[in-house]
Amino acid sequence: MSELSKVDQRIEDAFEDISPQQAIFVREYVENGANGPAAAAKAKYCPKKKGKERQNGLNATASRLLNKKKMPRIAEAIAALQAKMNDVCVINTEWWLRETKKTYDKCSQAEEIEIFEDGVKKGSGEFKFDSAGATKCLDMMGKHLGVYAPEEKKHSVDDTLKTILDNMSGRTTGLPNAGR
């Protein structure tokens, strides 16, 4: 059985145990960018409510339907459908990295600056490249590959604040006794 067939079977199994209205919600949720309230609206949840009351109802319904503990079959259906879309979709991580590399290569190519004299295009002898674009591509690839170390934040406490905090915690000997 091919990987795609396994995914198709997972989808079929997952959709078997949910209602038709829930199936519409799952499809809309996956196809329209994981917008729960919009998916709930397209699945015709809260049809009689209007305005803010309807939006609140759609938000609550989406939240309930997306709760993996309360609605595990919906979560399974979403995961199966997303896996199918990832398999079918040509835009995946590999494609993204390949296209980012192509963009980096293009941005790094030196191009001669052209000038016009008397309506005639001539080369200036100077070259330029898109350093900002190349740097952005490298930055995106670096973030994806995890080459950046997590940033350490150091906090300092000045002497006055340290003294106040020490006094509050009772670490100094010069505190007045409350019992006198």
Rounded Cα gap, residues 145 and 155, in angstroms:
29
pLDDT at 81: 86
Domain boundaries, the chain: 3-88, 90-147
pLDDT at 29: 92
Across the strands, what pairs with 112?
127
Rounded Cα gap, residues 177 and 154, in angstroms:
36
Which residue type, as a one-letter code, is found at position 66? L
Low-confidence residues in the chain, pLDDT < 50: 178-180
Q: What is the pLDDT of residues 146-168, one digit of tens each?
A: 887 766 667 666 777 777 877 87
Q: Which two tokens stand for residue 56?
A: 């609140």
What is the chain's length? 180
In this structure, are residues 44 and 61 in contact, taking their beta carbons and an 8 Å threshold? no
pLDDT at 38: 93
Q: What secondary structure letter does DSSP report for 175?
A: P
pLDDT at 40: 93
pLDDT at 157: 64
Across the strands, what pairs with 120?
117
pLDDT at 178: 46
